[in-house]
Structure 1
Amino acid sequence: MKLWSHRPPSPHQRSDEGTGPTESRTPPSRQDQLRDAAQVLRDELGSKRSDKLLRLFDFLLERTIEMRPPTELEITNEIFSAGRTVDSPQDATVRVYIHRLRKLMEDVYRERPGPGLSIPLGEYSVQLTGVAEMAVEDEVPVPPPPAGKAPPLARKWLALGAAGLMALLALLFFFPAAPKPPIWPAIWRPLANSDRPITIVMGDYFLFGQMGSQGPMSTSAPRLVWDHSILTRDDLDIYLMRHPEEGERVTPSREQYVSSSTIMALEKVQAILRHLTRGQARSIKLISASQLVPDAFKSSDVVYVGLLSGLSVLLCDPLFQASGFKLGDTFNDLTDVSTGTKYQSDGVVLTEERIPRVDYGYMASLPGPAGNTIMIIAGTRDPGLLEMAELAGDPARIAAAGFNGNVSFRGLEMLYRVRAMANLNIGATLVLHRELRSQGIWDKSATTDGTPSPSDTPEAAPIPH
């Protein structure tokens, strides 16, 4: 990997000594502009002592200049493999670091005049921003036509052509073509037609420390525990009030955890929402599921992004009253109430002989309690969530997967079977889609098991084969 602290001046930086006033200067090459803009970010990374981010940035920059953008596997072996060569990406480390680098670029170049840098979504290359496209250096100028008057017939046609061109320009000026509205997938249209602020809710988990069964006398190290019935600190306090015997085992450790797949999915969903609200006075706010309060449903549209296991009760309760699915006790499977079919992720059972290859993604849109819209983009495990985040903004892929309908006022849910390779999402096939049974969900609590009665469960639309 190439590093630099100083480079010789480029041709456009040569001294003006001895040049005439009419001598033109060579414009900076794209390579020089990339390196000049890169130094600003390198200084920022140096001040933050972010060695891995700096090495990653230098590697991406050099490969971009060489016009050989690296793959995720190449980045893993160059930056993150600790000297050993791996045959496939082991986790989401590369994508998490790329996300951090992308956000840092946005912050560094936002207020800085002149060229900036960015990393396009889905790519591992550095792009120059804020400059006009470079002219082709090797372009040969076309020699001017020989001096002299054009023949009379040619002058006549030239005059007619000029008049026609002026008329066309006048038409374009006074009657500009109306911009075509973007084609949004049906699942997004309720949000696209709204004028409310948007609250993005990311799934998170509350972890607390717990000693072994012997309490303070235990010799084992405390462990962090996730209990799906204890979602916040207040829940833990209530639990300990009801079970005082557990108080000696619980340590002061408290953590809020967000999965890396949720962060990567958020990046894609936020890009969709920025495009959806372009030109509108609609704010976009990001909170965690543990911070969600009822006021959000009164004042804004709500978009949940995360695993099904990260749903807060404020979302989970009404959703699964309206849904035709029952959520499993471990939050890793969905059961169709009308047929009894169980859809479970391969990621639940991990063995040395088995690689998870099947996951499930879930999307839903349902009416909120104040005429607003609630949208769910989720998965049973990481591959399902990441595939839904990619699929959500692509109307062609949604149609190709088998759904091209509309979302009724009652709402819609869709389940996708996601092909996976360990934690990598590869593609999706629509399993079913159907209307939600949303009437009255905001006026009553769920049944004991959190599911609607079978007689109220909407039937799934058949998927063509």
Structure 2
Amino acid sequence: MTVFGKSAQFDTSQDSTVRVHIHRLRRQLESFNYGKSGKLLQIPKGDYRLLLTEEAESADDDAILIEVHSKPSGQKRTWTVIAICFAATAIFWGMLLFSARSQDSVTSTLRQTSFWKPIAAHERLPLIAAGDFYMVVESGSDGKIQRLAMRPAIRSGRDLDKYLRMHPDQYSKLRDRDIHRLPATVAMGAAEILPIVASVRPDHAMADIIPVSQISQETIDSNNIIYIDRFSELGMLRSPALGQSHFAPGPDPNELRDLPSGRTFRVRAAAENQIGRDDVAADPYGYDYGYIASYPGPSGNQIIVISGMEDAALAQMVKLVGDKRQLGILSRQIGDAKAFEALYQVRTSGGLIFDTRLLIARVLEASKV
């Protein structure tokens, strides 16, 4: 519950988040342990336990190759080994050169997309703002601390001061201890965006990451901002331009409304996670929705938003903005517009991403942003 930001009502039979992340961790450990001997960390299939085991050393491809070519003797064997080493070295450098050229090609392509071009060409280094939760300390009538709580109207110490001025009866009950909580998906998203930003900029400078709660008007005026947060939290971001979006949260936390068309997009889990609900059609897929946007800021800077209704879509949008093919599709829809927004449908199956589809790409009026 702490790691994934779940409430006390979190039910693992209805939510596959833990299973998916354990599966990924198990695969990462298997990859890391491949070809190694001695004591190894492993997660047995079907378990969540982390075990320290000792496995026998296994032969790898290189060892097999040497054994096959070790039969010749004397000078012939020496030249055989030299030839093998030379060939391996040539292949290695060839692959390295190809990888570097491919990476340069990908970076160049990303730099020219409508999404990254303003950041790549702008003289100001972007600032990555990660959506965090401000925790208020609540005390009882005896003055003793009872719990930490998140209140939608209180996002920072400044907000708490304003709230207390409007509610003086709460002075003895609410306290500021400068405690913030950063959801794991948002933190990982910020870490993944960091190298992308550095790669698209000519100076390859590394951006800073700060929590949204520390964003001030001065910060917005002096930096390009890349917001990473859930869509339901976007209304709390300290940016006047976010009100220009044509999307709005619905009456239900799992709903998103497109204001021009009146369409409602609803997040839902796959049918396998909705057993016992008669109102849900037998659909093996779950649906989440991702949102990205870019528009000029208040002082000639650029504001970028990377968001999702739930964690699956948010994580997928982080990957999408580093995908030259997906950004190419978006660029063809919006042209060279400096202000735009896009909505994506993320289809999930078994807790994993099945596909991502662009639903709406809309050019915004930059003069009003």
Q: Which residue matches 1:334? A: 256
Structure 2 residue ranges without an equivalent (≥5)? 1-24, 52-61, 70-76, 83-103, 278-283
Q: Which has the larger radius of gyration?
A: 1
Say if 2:133 is the partner of 1:189.
no
Give distance in 2, aligned partners of 1:334 and 1:314.
18
Q: Which residue matches 1:343? A: 265
Q: How far off is 1:410 after superposition? A: 4.3
Q: Is the Cα contact below 8 Å between 1:410 and 1:439 reproduced in 2?
A: no
Say if 2:52 is the partner of 1:64.
no
Give distance in 1, aligned partners of 2:47 and 2:125.
40
Moved over 6 A (4+): none
Q: Are residues 380 and 61 of structure 1, via their aligned partners in 2, closer, same or farther at CA, if it must alter by over 3 Å?
A: closer
Give distance in 2, aligned partners of 1:80 and 1:339.
47
User: For 2:48, which of 81, 96, 99 is the aligned residue?
Assistant: 81
Q: Are residues 425 and 246 of structure 1, via their aligned partners in 2, closer, same or farther at CA, if it must alter by over 3 Å?
A: farther
Q: How far off is 1:438 after superposition? A: 3.1
Say if 2:234 is the partner of 1:311.
yes
Q: Which residue matches 2:168? A: 244
Q: How far off is 1:421 after superposition? A: 4.8
Q: Which residue matches 1:159? A: none
Give distance in 2, aligned partners of 1:311 and 1:368.
16
Q: Is the Cα contact below 8 Å between 1:207 and 1:226 reproduced in 2?
A: yes
Q: Is the Cα contact below 8 Å between 2:157 and 2:176 reproduced in 1?
A: no
Q: How far off is 1:289 after superposition? A: 0.4
Aligned length: 290
The secondary structure found in structure 1 opposite 2:116 is helix
Q: Is the Cα contact below 8 Å between 1:358 and 1:417 reproduced in 2?
A: yes
Q: Is the Cα contact below 8 Å between 2:293 and 2:340 reproduced in 1?
A: yes
Say if 2:149 is the partner of 1:225.
yes
Q: How far off is 1:330 after superposition? A: 6.8
User: What are the residue-to-residue correspondences of 1:13-412 with 2, within 5 Å?
Assistant: 63-65=33-35, 76-77=43-44, 81-82=48-49, 137=66, 141=79, 182-184=108-110, 185-210=113-138, 215-216=140-141, 222-250=146-174, 255-277=179-201, 279-280=202-203, 282-311=205-234, 313=236, 315-321=238-244, 323-328=245-250, 332-346=254-268, 357-399=286-328, 404-412=332-340
RMSD (Å) for aligned C-alpha atoms:
4.2
The farther-off stretch of 362-371 and 243-252 is 243-252
Give distance in 2, aligned partners of 1:252 and 1:293.
18
The secondary structure found in structure 1 opposite 2:366 is coil
TM-score by length of 1: 0.53
Q: Which residue matches 2:92? A: none
Q: Is the Cα contact below 8 Å between 1:382 and 1:423 reproduced in 2?
A: no
TM-score by length of 2: 0.65
Q: Are residues 421 and 62 of structure 1, via their aligned partners in 2, closer, same or farther at CA, if it must alter by over 3 Å?
A: closer
Give distance in 1, aligned partners of 2:115 and 2:352.
24
Q: Is the Cα contact below 8 Å between 2:137 and 2:174 reproduced in 1?
A: yes
Give distance in 1, aligned partners of 2:290 and 2:158.
31
Identity of aligned residues (%): 23
Q: Are residues 256 and 328 of structure 1, via their aligned partners in 2, closer, same or farther at CA, if it must alter by over 3 Å?
A: farther
Give distance in 2, aligned partners of 1:340 and 1:376.
22
Give distance in 1, aligned partners of 2:252 and 2:127.
27
The secondary structure found in structure 1 opposite 2:134 is strand
The secondary structure found in structure 2 opposite 1:304 is strand
Residue type of the partner of 1:235?
D
Residue type of the partner of 2:34?
T
Q: Is the Cα contact below 8 Å between 1:361 and 1:415 reproduced in 2?
A: yes
Deviations 1:23-82 (A, max 9, x none): xxxxxxxxxxxxxxxxxxxxxxxxxxxxxxxx99x9557622259xx9xxx965479813
Give distance in 1, aligned partners of 2:337 and 2:32.
52
The secondary structure found in structure 1 opposite 2:213 is helix
Structure having the higher strand fraction is 2
Q: Is the Cα contact below 8 Å between 1:203 and 1:305 reproduced in 2?
A: yes
Query: Bigger relative contact order, structure 1 or 2, given CA contacts below 8 A and separation 6+?
Result: 2
